[in-house]
Structure 1
Amino acid sequence: MPPLPQPDPFWEIRVHEPNRDKGVSGLCVGYEQGQWRYSAFADYIMEWLPEFCLNSKERDELSHESAVKSLRKAANLVYQTDKYAKRGEFGEFFLHAAVRCVFDSLPAISKLFYESSMNNTVKGFDCVHVVGPLNDLELWLGEVKFYKRVSKAIRDVVSEIGEHLETNFLRKEFILIGNKLNEQDSYTAAVQKLISERTSLDKIFKRICIPVLLTYESNAVEQHTAVTEEYNREFCDEINHHFETFRKKAANLPQVRIHLFLFPLEDKERLITALHEKLKAWQKI
């Protein structure tokens, strides 16, 4: 499968352990002139907006001439969905960008396109991506918690993963996913075969990864104003500590590969404000 073009890298991946069972990546935004990089990160996330919002056919038709119109459409699509306009739930943007840039995935379904009707999101996974060649394809079904407290994020996401890996839930999700795939995409036949009701979940679990992205307001981030050796050490120690907590909490989940993205923040509300400002600007271009 040919790779999709990506925005230039932004996150510093300060911890990265892509283990086959449970892996972890620690995502760092860094600082600029003594400030956490709210505006620069919001700009970066906005560059993912068309890919996140548009379906594969619309992405394929994106050209230099249509770019402005498509960007405006993408921004308006976000604000037609209550959870973004009213509650600022931008975590799915972060998850999409993290899986794409760290594992070079392809989005199988646009999350907004995946909604059953306006403001009525399908109660399922927060991203549906594919990773790897067609003869060794993996289906990545993501979960995200855009939280302030890491302990609550870990508790809630482990519970949700358990619910989403139950047989009845998965079979219903696979039907919804199958119905939303674009027949023209190169990976569609492979995904359809993998998630077929004829395929045992035991076999499917070997080809699934659950990417999980958790945000939280971080002591390490808050206590520094520049990337130094001390900051890097404290950042990595914090990531490894929370990863170990997650591993213990997730020990009783079904045997499926999980990759945890930990994204420490300075202030969640300030980040939401920066994202809203960028989106409103994009609506007017």
Structure 2
Amino acid sequence: MPPPTPEPFWTVRVHRIDIHPGLSGLCVGYERGEWRRDQFVNHVMEWLPEFALKESELQGIDSSTLVRMIRNAANIIYQSEKFNNRGEFGELFLHMAKRQVFNSIPAISKIYYKTARNETVKGFDSVHVVEAEDGLELWIGEVKFYKNIKQAVSDVIQELHDHTQTNYLRDEFNLIINKVDKNWQHYEKIRSLMSPNTSLDEVFKRACIPVLLTYESDAVRQCSACDDHYKELLINEMREAYHLFSSKGLPEDIRIHLFLFPLASKTELVTALDGKLRIWQQL
């Protein structure tokens, strides 16, 4: 049996699926006056096996293989001194957000697209499916693990337009379906949806692009507890970020859902994540 899914960690401060784009605002909260950076880092590590390992490897985890599989997952992410420039942590956050908020099912990790150690991966940052009431949906995501929300919005808007061009989508679909395990329970449905014989008009009816943006938050840094004042500041800040994003001329023919993840300090978070990951690599 695969390892159990980690318990939810984020508090979802805002969740709107009745608007376009949709919005979910994620919060890690405080403990004894401090933003819960280290607790969040420990939680992130719990997701490593699911994010980095193949389905067949997850199915094979037991007490005799657990440590080795955790070490393998940590090594798959990256081995580089240039960790401040890496996007893998952001991809992992997006994976976690879709799993926690929408109970998505991973189709394949973009880690599998790497052809050489420490190579960055272009294209969509995450490929999941969601079992909706009217059938299976394809969730192909984008993430910007940034300090500045304006820069994050600017860069992701350009990618959203580039990545929804017909030729680009066809190339991505071909790459994705060739990497999906043919024994996966949803393989045939995804293969049919991504087939070149299926009109993109039909694909867009069954697809969503989740976008996760991080930013260093004044609300997070000014407060030390999840009291009413903090919640008001944070929700107002998220509302402004949402309006900035939604006003930039998004692609109109596909559903988009925005995840906002405010940080106290990106640099400190990345340093803590990198340190913990290197410990796991030595298990």
TM-score normalised per structure 1: 0.94
Q: Which residue of 1 aligns with 2:68?
A: 69
Q: Which residue of 2 aligns with 1:280?
A: 278
How many angstroms does 1:22 deviate by? 1.2
1:260 to 2:258 alignment: yes
Q: Which residue of 2 aligns with 1:270?
A: 268
Contact 1:134–1:187 (Cα < 8 Å) also in 2:
no
2:161 is aligned with what amino acid?
Answer: G
Deviations 1:98-127 (A, max 9, x none): 001100011100221132443334421000
SS at match of 1:184: coil
Deviations 1:127-159 (A, max 9, x none): 000100697111100000000100110111011
SS at match of 1:142: strand
2:259 is aligned with what amino acid?
Answer: F
Structure 1: 4+ residue segments shifted above 6 A: none
Aligned counterparts, 1:8-19, within 5 A: 8-19=7-18
How many angstroms does 1:58 deviate by? 1.2
1:235 to 2:234 alignment: yes
Contact 2:84–2:270 (Cα < 8 Å) also in 1:
no
Whole-angstrom CA distance in 1 between matches of 2:126 and 2:230: 31
Whole-angstrom CA distance in 1 between matches of 2:102 and 2:3: 12
Structure 1 window deviating more from structure 2 (55-64 vs 149-158): it is 55-64
SS at match of 2:112: coil
What RMSD, in angstroms, separates the aligned Cα atoms of the two structures?
1.9
Structure 1 window deviating more from structure 2 (19-28 vs 268-277): it is 19-28
Contact 2:3–2:61 (Cα < 8 Å) also in 1:
no
Q: Which residue of 2 aligns with 1:78?
A: 77
How many angstroms does 1:36 deviate by? 0.8
Deviations 1:7-57 (A, max 9, x none): 111100000002363100000011111111111000001100011111121
Whole-angstrom CA distance in 1 between matches of 2:84 and 2:30: 28
Unaligned runs of 5+ in 2: none
2:112 is aligned with what amino acid?
Answer: F
Q: Which residue of 1 aligns with 2:165?
A: 166
Q: Which residue of 1 aligns with 2:103?
A: 104
1:229 is aligned with what amino acid?
Answer: D
Unaligned runs of 5+ in 1: none
Whole-angstrom CA distance in 1 between matches of 2:39 and 2:249: 34
Q: Which residue of 2 aligns with 1:245?
A: 244
Aligned counterparts, 1:1-285, within 5 A: 5-19=4-18, 21-80=20-79, 82=80, 85=83, 87-89=85-87, 90-132=89-131, 136-251=135-250, 253-285=251-283
Q: In percent, how many aligned pairs have the same letter?
A: 49
Whole-angstrom CA distance in 2 between matches of 1:163 and 1:135: 29
How many angstroms does 1:94 deviate by? 0.5
Alpha carbons of structure 1 residues 197 and 121: separation in structure 2 relative to 1, 3 Å: farther
Alpha carbons of structure 1 residues 116 and 88: separation in structure 2 relative to 1, 3 Å: closer
Whole-angstrom CA distance in 2 between matches of 1:24 and 1:160: 19
Alpha carbons of structure 1 residues 144 and 9: separation in structure 2 relative to 1, 3 Å: same
How many angstroms does 1:77 deviate by? 1.4
Contact 1:6–1:101 (Cα < 8 Å) also in 2:
no
Whole-angstrom CA distance in 1 between matches of 2:19 and 2:195: 24
Contact 1:34–1:226 (Cα < 8 Å) also in 2:
yes
Alpha carbons of structure 1 residues 282 and 22: separation in structure 2 relative to 1, 3 Å: same
SS at match of 1:212: strand
SS at match of 1:76: helix
SS at match of 2:141: strand
Structure 1 window deviating more from structure 2 (3-12 vs 237-246): it is 3-12
Deviations 1:155-182 (A, max 9, x none): 1101101000000000000000010000
How many equivalent pairs are there? Answer: 281
2:65 is aligned with what amino acid?
Answer: S
Contact 2:26–2:262 (Cα < 8 Å) also in 1:
yes
1:110 is aligned with what amino acid?
Answer: S
